[in-house]
Amino acid sequence: MLDEIAVLRERFSAAGTVDGSVDQMYETAKQLGFDALIYDYTPVPFDYNGDIMLPSLLKLRNIADDMPDYWFNRGYFRIDPVQRLACRTTVPFFWNYDPDAATLISRFMTEETGPVAHYLRERDMSRGITVPVHTPRGDYATVTAVHFGRGGDFSREAQHHIAEFSLAAQVFHEAAYAMFDAGARSVSTARLTERESECLRYSAEGYSAKEISRIIDRSVPTVVMHLNAAAKKLGARNRTQAVVPPAITGCCRPGHPITSIAATLFRSLWSATQPRKEMPHRHECHEAICRFAIIALPASPARWIPRGCRWSSPMAGRAAPTTTSIPSSISATSTAAQ
């Protein structure tokens, strides 16, 4: 088994590019009797509403040319029963869109997902195997082999090849990921311009649109336009909520244009709720703030914390103080209040 993994890793890595490694995976699928390959990657499976995120990378082999348009622009990816199952399981599975077939995707086949089933049946792509790849980074990919045609006992064929295909898919993804560029590794829904990021940052600091307009020397309608554009890109209903989606979707990482927004919001919230005797629920306030911070700033939390806030991590083997109701993953107390 270890020798087989080493051989696969060498073959996929030797391709030198993502497309080259996808070609190699496609050849593997063909050797197992499949006709096409679909590979997609998403930095975070769900957005803050719980909806499936669109992938930042999609690679197709021997697939209809119009599939990207349907899956991206028409939103089929979000309602695809295969994707709805794959992002909820780590176990490889075979699927069949034929109405009489009883496979694991059957529970997701509803009137809403009907267009996806119709598209795939119309193009004779109604059967296949999918390997979900969930990594410790929190990102997510699927490697899918498609079988054209409707004849024969597909379930028996799938069970025969699923273990071998799954092993190849796992090794393939790790090799391909190492060759990703920055665009493929970024959440595709948060592409803010410099001005949108600036306005949103000031908004997170508590400035009104009128105050922001004075700071950046632009009209109030222009500021509102930038804030609304940023909120729309982040899938938020308003400016306040616009700061939250990037935190939950993992956009707030060092180097990301809106990392400083999350950091500023955290500092502002902390400062506004410093423990005081007249705040009987101060620890609950800090718990909420810290829950936000650990999601928003996972890469390097120590970089953003203000003085007086102590962090402890179970990964470091340090237990959190028992004097507060703050979760064990983070402890926050104020030395100024002691």
Q: Which residues pair with 187 in a beta bridge?
A: none
First to last CA, the chain: 58
Residues 80, 207, single domain; the answer is no
Residues 230, 263, single domain; the answer is no
- From 56, 54, 52, select the one nearest 71 (Cα to Cα): 54
- From 32, 19, 29, select the one nearest 144 (Cα to Cα): 29
The pLDDT of residue 48 is 55
Residues 84, 176, single domain; the answer is yes
- Cβ proximity of 40 and 141 under 8 Å: yes
Residues 195, 174, single domain; the answer is no
Residues 138, 23, single domain; the answer is yes
The pLDDT of residue 127 is 92
pTM greater than 0.75 (yes/no): no
The pLDDT of residue 11 is 94
Residues 50, 130, single domain; the answer is yes
Which of 242, 259, 282 terminates a domain? The answer is 242
The pLDDT of residue 200 is 80
Residues 200, 259, single domain; the answer is no
The pLDDT of residue 47 is 66
CATH number of the domain residue 160 falls in: 3.30.450.80
Residues 13, 154, single domain; the answer is yes
Residues 59, 169, single domain; the answer is yes
**Count of the separate structural domains present in the chain:** 3
CATH number of the domain residue 208 falls in: 1.10.10.10
The pLDDT of residue 150 is 72
Residues 164, 226, single domain; the answer is no
Residues 6 or more apart whose Cβ sits within 8 Å of residue 56: 41, 42, 43, 183, 184, 185, 186, 187, 188
- From 225, 221, 163, 120, select the one nearest 4 (Cα to Cα): 163
- Digit-by-digit pLDDT tens for the chain (338 residues) are 667 899 999 999 999 999 999 999 999 999 999 999 999 998 878 765 677 888 989 999 999 999 999 998 888 999 999 999 999 999 999 999 988 888 899 999 999 999 999 999 999 998 999 999 998 888 899 999 999 977 667 777 778 889 999 999 999 999 999 999 877 887 654 556 788 878 888 887 778 889 999 999 999 999 988 888 777 666 566 665 555 544 444 444 444 444 444 555 554 554 554 444 444 444 545 445 554 444 444 444 444 444 444 444 333 333 333 333 333 333 333 333 33
Residues 11, 134, single domain; the answer is yes
Residues 145, 29, single domain; the answer is yes
The pLDDT of residue 337 is 34
- Residue 315's domain comprises 246-338
Ramachandran assignment for 83, one of left (phi > 0), alpha (psi -120 to 50 degrees), beta (any other): alpha
Which of 242, 261, 283 terminates a domain? The answer is 242
The pLDDT of residue 242 is 58
Tracing tokens 């598209």 back to the chain, one arrives at: 119
Burial call 165-186: b when 16+ CB within 10 Å, e when fewer? bbbbbbbbbebbbebbeeebeb
